[in-house]
Structure 1
Amino acid sequence: MDNFIVSARKYRPITFDSVVGQQHITSTLKNAIHNSQLAQAFLFCGPRGVGKTTCARILAKTINCEKINEQVEACGTCESCKSFQNGNSFSIHELDAASNNSVDDIRSLIEQVRIPPQAGKYKIYIIDEVHMLSQAAFNAFLKTLEEPPSYAIFILATTEKHKILPTILSRCQIFDFNRIKVEDMAAHLASIADKEQVAFESDGLHIIAQKADGGLRDALSMFDQIVSFSNKNISYQAVIDNLNILDYDYYFQLMDNIASENAAQALLTFDKVLNNGFDGGHFISGLATHIRNLLVSKEPSTLKLLEVSDNIKRKYLEQSQALSSGLLLSALNIANQCEINYKNSKNQRLQVELALLKMCHIAAAILLNKQGSFVSSASPEEKKKLPEQLINKPVSFTPSALSSAPTAVAPATVASRTQEARFSTASSSNSSSEESVTVPLKKGWGKVTSSVQVPNLNTIFEDKSEEESDEPDLVQGNEFREVTLNAFLSKWNVFADSLKQTSRITLYTIMTANMPRLNGTVIEIDVENGVQMDELKLGKIDILNFLRVELNNFALDIKGVQVEMTRSRKPYTSQEKYQAMLSKNPALETLRKAFNLGLS
């Protein structure tokens, strides 16, 4: 145990080529050394654990190496390299600015800079956490940093560049380090696991890399922890148990419940998540991310945006093809609204459960809307074959039924289902007239398992079928109907009357004071001033949500037109009242001057 060294130190890079995920910086530094174009000061900035101090040490060692190889790497065998590796180099100095941040510390550093190097070509100073220097220390350091001796090079490292004075920044070559990609980090962890003879699953290493949030040092710390926890067998289950991470399977199972409208099982899944110690806010945030990943997986070309292992990508690809875009968009909108309201809610669990219940009823809402659209667009011959209750009681659907945002039903999804219903009607035209047209609803798409055959991730899906290519025409016919002026004015007045009943008098006045004009799909309404314009903008969403559904045209829009008032308005201020009286009797001004009167 006394000889144990953590992986972050044991496998710390010692050459430029061994640095992970910072090729843009290492290539620049190698070229600068090869061309002898070294600056007098470098500033390495970026998040924690991405290799700033490591690159500073490699740069310092390579600069003073006596036998630099063809790849511009330090040899590691010369006296300069050996002394640096043993920690007794007289030419390379490291200073921790977090604990040496006073003016006296900087003055002592300046005194050391005046002494030429005893060995090697350069005297190099690595100042870590440089943003911790005091204001006075920065000012004392300015002159030396701007005009150091020819043999002195400063390498500054910081995680908070914004705290450094602009005068310091202007004297340095600045290198911004990136967060290390999940794929690069997982590959590096796999190589270390092979060297340490640790069994691993690629899914488990990907989870560690995602949890590290771009910091390789954090990933190596978690790697050591899980190696001890799992007795050198890093499995996916061991990682999520040790790091307390919500398993992907929860979300895959939940989306299956939502698709099959199994609200009871969805609530039980959420209860299981809470019983395992996870926060509801973290759960709903993860669900939104999961739905986002499903939408991204709709096209194989965007699968590279998912920072997960290939096995998980296959699961995303499989489930995304089983769910419609309309359902996913509606569920994502509901999850987003729940996440916004979660922190301010007194009953936070109810917020999440209500969101899950809404999601489980999206498919039913799509079916209701499809039935209403089919009945309204059916020909007289088709209507004769429909059930009487479907014709006499057509079902309408409003976007506010599930969410405050009008994204509950995607037009493409509605058109696709309407098309299926028409095909069903056409195929039954030869049967008896007593047969009714049924509109089936697919109840679930089966659970997602890794054993199901999935197409190759590198292949692109085939072109859409002829049935899908006809969808825009159906949408145009069902969701963007022509609006007559009489129908528009009727619905306009109905909504205005509802505003009066709810005491929204200002918006009611705007809608009724002037006659609206219908210019195609744009509704123009005159407003008299900026106040009315702002009120119209606030009420625009409510008006459109009502009119678009009632008139069955989702292209309608409202435009306010501000007009100049030509009629004279009544005097309001004392000055205006006096001017009005003066226009009728000019002698009033003579009287005011004679008695030296003022306006109150």
Structure 2
Amino acid sequence: MPEYLVSARKYRPKNFEDVIGQSHVTKTLINAISNNQISHAYIFCGPRGVGKTTCARIFANKINNINIDKKQDGIFNIFELDAASNNSVDDIRDLVAQTRIPPQNGKYKVYIIDEVHMLSKAAFNAFLKTLEEPPKYCVFILATTEKQKLIPTILSRCQIFEFHRINSTDIRNHLFSLVEKEELIVDEKSIKLISESADGALRDALSTFDKIISFCGKNWIHEDVEILLKSLNSKRILSFIEKIYNKKIHETLIDFNNLIEKGFEGKDLVISLIEFYRNIILCKNQSSIEIIKCDSETKLHLVELSKIISTENILSYLDILLDSQRQYNSSFNKRFLVELCLMQLCSINSSNKKKNVIDPPDKFEQKKKNEEIPLIKNVKQEDEKNLEEDSKIIDQKKIAETDTKIDQKNLEESTTQVDIEKKNEDPIMETSILGKTIQECLKNDKPNQEKSVDKEEVEDLISLNNNTLQPYWLELCNHLKNTGKMNLYSTLLNQKNIQIKDNNIEIKVQSETQKKEILDNNNLIVDLLKNKAKVNYIRIVVKLEKIKEDKLLYTNEDKLKFIISEKPSVVELIKKLNLEIKE
């Protein structure tokens, strides 16, 4: 049985013509070889799986005229170093030592250093001189996926080649050629799905290709390919979009549950919805439809949806989906997060706002104002009707006034008799509520409430001073000591000149930590003092007092300035004696 090789190794290009999607690099290298313009150092940079190491090997073989199939001796002039595992200074010193030995067979010694950005800073510095002026038979090819991590002195010494992501059509054509070589029965949709999921990396596409062969064998089924790649069918996503537009919350949640049971994750649905809503926006303009990469049937469906769904709604959909995508990895209950996202999508109105079970305060106030406007109009209409009735009522009032004058005389006579009877009543009966209405009881309670308020105001006006505060302050300090708050205890105990004004206690501290500790325990201090002093209002004010530090005289200049400030006559003495001041 022949030895198994993965497709990435089995079908690795052996010539520049076989390299896919990097014509700008291969053409430059072919011209450099034909014109004998070979540089001493190259940098191949770009994303993973696009052919950097492959091009480096082909270039090394071409400049040494090596035929790989014949396994010539010149192949030993090519050295590959993995900088991820050999990133120390000693490894680079060993490499530099090897460069001093010329090749026995062939023209060049080629050093391919993969993942060169993993070298340490010291290793880069040890490599600089050799990279700038290597022996004439040495060629260095540095491959990296992160060019920005290389120091500028390395970049300036090399020719830089940028490798691009491979187009999905090129990957698709390459996979179809492999299908013919492997004699597989494959649906075109499956190959297209693999090329799109590779994200421009041919090696990733070949790895997926091998995995599907292991699962499906020679005959592929598109549904199995979708399950392996965790790719949702476009018909399912379109059905989700239609149900979201029609606000069918329960049906969307049931469909989402079916996806979870089939092995998909909530993140897969969110990513697919983001992609499809983006495509719907592109379908709103004929010039941007060409950007969309999907089959014609799906494209027609997207065009129809673009006519129905407004751009504002699509943007609000995308905001909700992107928020859930950001929170997905950190969420504890990921399924509920996606379900909540779907419910929010279904609850978006045509006004680009989510439905709220309870209106926010701003909306409530606006509704209230809108309701008041028609009420005012109705009141004005009613006032006009009432004006006519008022004239009739005035005539009736004049008649009633004469009757009230007669009634007042009778009331005066009756009140004198009632006052005499009240004096003879029992005081206990005065306080009882027997025979009284609820309104009379409430009227009798009002003056008592006012009196209690007055008492509280009097208590609030009780002011503290240093003498009255001192015993309560000591009790507070002892309480803090007993509860284990020793730092706060020592800070408050050392307060000597406490200033009190209108129950505002001013405390002076000498550090930020003391101030923070007092402010953190402010409620505790105030409550204890209120309970001890029986005062309703106390406020703690903390001020930071700067400590004046005496400056020490270290230098001769400082000492001289101090002497002159104390005795200015020293300056005249220095002038008379012609003395020199040495630093």
Give the structure-1-normalised TM-score: 0.55
Q: Deviations over 1:294-343 (max 9, x none)?
A: 222344543342344xxx34312333224426446414422422431562
Flag the 1:335–1:281 CA change in 2: closer, same or farther, 3 A.
farther
Higher helix share: 2
Superposed, 1:13-24 pairs within 5 Å as: 13-24=13-24
Q: Is the 8 A contact 1:274 1:280 kept in 2?
A: yes
Q: Deviations over 1:491-535 (max 9, x none)?
A: 9xx87999xxxxxxxxxxxxxxxxxxxxxxxxxxxxxxxxxxxxx
Q: How many residues align?
A: 360
| Residue in structure 2 matched with residue 400 of structure 1 by the alignment | 353
Deviation at 1:195, TM superposition (A): 0.8
Flag the 1:22–1:58 CA change in 2: closer, same or farther, 3 A.
same
Letter in 2 for 1:324: K
2:307 to 324, 331, 339: 324
Flag the 1:329–1:144 CA change in 2: closer, same or farther, 3 A.
same
| Residue in structure 1 matched with residue 183 of structure 2 by the alignment | 197
CA distance in 1 between counterparts of 2:321 and 2:305 reads 25
Letter in 1 for 2:146: E
1:282 and 2:235 matched: no
- The DSSP-based 3-state class of the residue aligned with 1:105 is helix
Letter in 1 for 2:303: S
Deviation at 1:120, TM superposition (A): 2.5
CA distance in 2 between counterparts of 1:341 and 1:356 reads 10
Superposed, 1:358-437 pairs within 5 Å as: 359-360=345-346, 365-366=349-350, 399-402=352-355
Letter in 1 for 2:205: A
Superposed, 1:501-580 pairs within 5 Å as: none
Letter in 1 for 2:195: A
CA distance in 1 between counterparts of 2:70 and 2:368 reads 84
1:154 and 2:140 matched: yes
Deviation at 1:227, TM superposition (A): 0.9
Deviation at 1:137, TM superposition (A): 2.0
Q: Is the 8 A contact 1:39 1:173 kept in 2?
A: yes
CA distance in 2 between counterparts of 1:302 and 1:85 reads 52
CA distance in 1 between counterparts of 2:160 and 2:70 reads 25
Deviation at 1:347, TM superposition (A): 6.2
Flag the 1:173–1:278 CA change in 2: closer, same or farther, 3 A.
same
| Residue in structure 2 matched with residue 116 of structure 1 by the alignment | 102
Q: Is the 8 A contact 1:64 1:122 kept in 2?
A: yes
1:95 and 2:81 matched: yes
1:297 to 273, 283, 292: 283
CA distance in 2 between counterparts of 1:18 and 1:129 reads 24
| Residue in structure 1 matched with residue 34 of structure 2 by the alignment | 34
- The DSSP-based 3-state class of the residue aligned with 1:271 is helix
CA distance in 1 between counterparts of 2:64 and 2:229 reads 43
1:177 and 2:163 matched: yes
Flag the 1:137–1:359 CA change in 2: closer, same or farther, 3 A.
closer
Deviation at 1:224, TM superposition (A): 0.7
Q: Which runs of 5+ in 2 are unaligned?
A: 357-361, 370-583
Flag the 1:135–1:352 CA change in 2: closer, same or farther, 3 A.
closer
Superposed, 1:468-507 pairs within 5 Å as: none
CA distance in 2 between counterparts of 1:83 and 1:105 reads 31
Q: Is the 8 A contact 1:294 1:317 kept in 2?
A: no
| Residue in structure 2 matched with residue 510 of structure 1 by the alignment | none
2:320 to 321, 329, 337: 337
| Residue in structure 1 matched with residue 413 of structure 2 by the alignment | none
Letter in 2 for 1:6: V
Flag the 1:331–1:18 CA change in 2: closer, same or farther, 3 A.
same
1:11 and 2:17 matched: no
| Residue in structure 1 matched with residue 153 of structure 2 by the alignment | 167
| Residue in structure 1 matched with residue 431 of structure 2 by the alignment | none
Letter in 2 for 1:184: D
| Residue in structure 1 matched with residue 214 of structure 2 by the alignment | 228
CA distance in 2 between counterparts of 1:270 and 1:328 reads 25
User: Aligned residues: percent identity?
Assistant: 45
Letter in 2 for 1:172: C
CA distance in 2 between counterparts of 1:131 and 1:292 reads 36
Q: Is the 8 A contact 2:166 2:202 kept in 1?
A: yes
Q: Is the 8 A contact 1:46 1:52 kept in 2?
A: yes
CA distance in 1 between counterparts of 2:250 and 2:310 reads 19
Q: Deviations over 1:432-482 (max 9, x none)?
A: xxxxxxxxxxxxxxxxxxxxxxxxxxxxxxxxxxxxxxxxxxxxxxxxxxx
Q: Is the 8 A contact 2:6 2:210 kept in 1?
A: yes
2:127 to 106, 121, 141: 141
> Relative contact order: is structure 1 or structure 2 higher (C-alpha 8 Å, sep ≥ 6)?
1
Deviation at 1:110, TM superposition (A): 1.8
Letter in 2 for 1:111: A
CA distance in 1 between counterparts of 2:43 and 2:58 reads 14
| Residue in structure 2 matched with residue 62 of structure 1 by the alignment | 62
Superposition RMSD on alpha carbons, in Å?
Answer: 3.0
Q: Is the 8 A contact 1:83 1:89 kept in 2?
A: no
CA distance in 1 between counterparts of 2:319 and 2:265 reads 16
Deviation at 1:267, TM superposition (A): 2.5
Q: Is the 8 A contact 2:186 2:221 kept in 1?
A: yes
Q: Is the 8 A contact 1:98 1:132 kept in 2?
A: yes
Letter in 1 for 2:43: L
Deviation at 1:99, TM superposition (A): 2.8
Flag the 1:82–1:292 CA change in 2: closer, same or farther, 3 A.
closer
Flag the 1:264–1:320 CA change in 2: closer, same or farther, 3 A.
farther
Flag the 1:318–1:119 CA change in 2: closer, same or farther, 3 A.
same
Q: Is the 8 A contact 2:324 2:341 kept in 1?
A: no
| Residue in structure 2 matched with residue 466 of structure 1 by the alignment | none
CA distance in 2 between counterparts of 1:361 and 1:20 reads 48
- The DSSP-based 3-state class of the residue aligned with 1:199 is coil
CA distance in 1 between counterparts of 2:338 and 2:125 reads 54
| Residue in structure 1 matched with residue 375 of structure 2 by the alignment | none
Q: Deviations over 1:277-304 (max 9, x none)?
A: 3332432232121111122234454334
CA distance in 2 between counterparts of 1:237 and 1:37 reads 52
Flag the 1:257–1:119 CA change in 2: closer, same or farther, 3 A.
same
CA distance in 2 between counterparts of 1:341 and 1:278 reads 17
Flag the 1:27–1:497 CA change in 2: closer, same or farther, 3 A.
farther
Q: Which runs of 5+ in 1 are unaligned?
A: 66-79, 367-397, 404-490, 499-600
Q: Deviations over 1:399-458 (max 9, x none)?
A: 53559xxxxxxxxxxxxxxxxxxxxxxxxxxxxxxxxxxxxxxxxxxxxxxxxxxxxxxx
Flag the 1:42–1:101 CA change in 2: closer, same or farther, 3 A.
same
- The DSSP-based 3-state class of the residue aligned with 2:67 is helix
CA distance in 2 between counterparts of 1:192 and 1:273 reads 32
Deviation at 1:252, TM superposition (A): 1.5
Q: Is the 8 A contact 2:44 2:141 kept in 1?
A: yes
CA distance in 2 between counterparts of 1:105 and 1:280 reads 47
Flag the 1:335–1:301 CA change in 2: closer, same or farther, 3 A.
closer
- The DSSP-based 3-state class of the residue aligned with 2:353 is helix
Q: Is the 8 A contact 2:347 2:354 kept in 1?
A: no
Q: Is the 8 A contact 2:73 2:105 kept in 1?
A: no
- The DSSP-based 3-state class of the residue aligned with 1:9 is helix
Deviation at 1:207, TM superposition (A): 1.5
CA distance in 1 between counterparts of 2:79 and 2:285 reads 53
| Residue in structure 2 matched with residue 217 of structure 1 by the alignment | 203
Letter in 1 for 2:288: T
Letter in 1 for 2:58: I
Q: Is the 8 A contact 2:116 2:144 kept in 1?
A: yes
Q: Is the 8 A contact 1:131 1:164 kept in 2?
A: yes
Q: Is the 8 A contact 1:19 1:51 kept in 2?
A: yes
Which structure: larger Rg?
A: 2
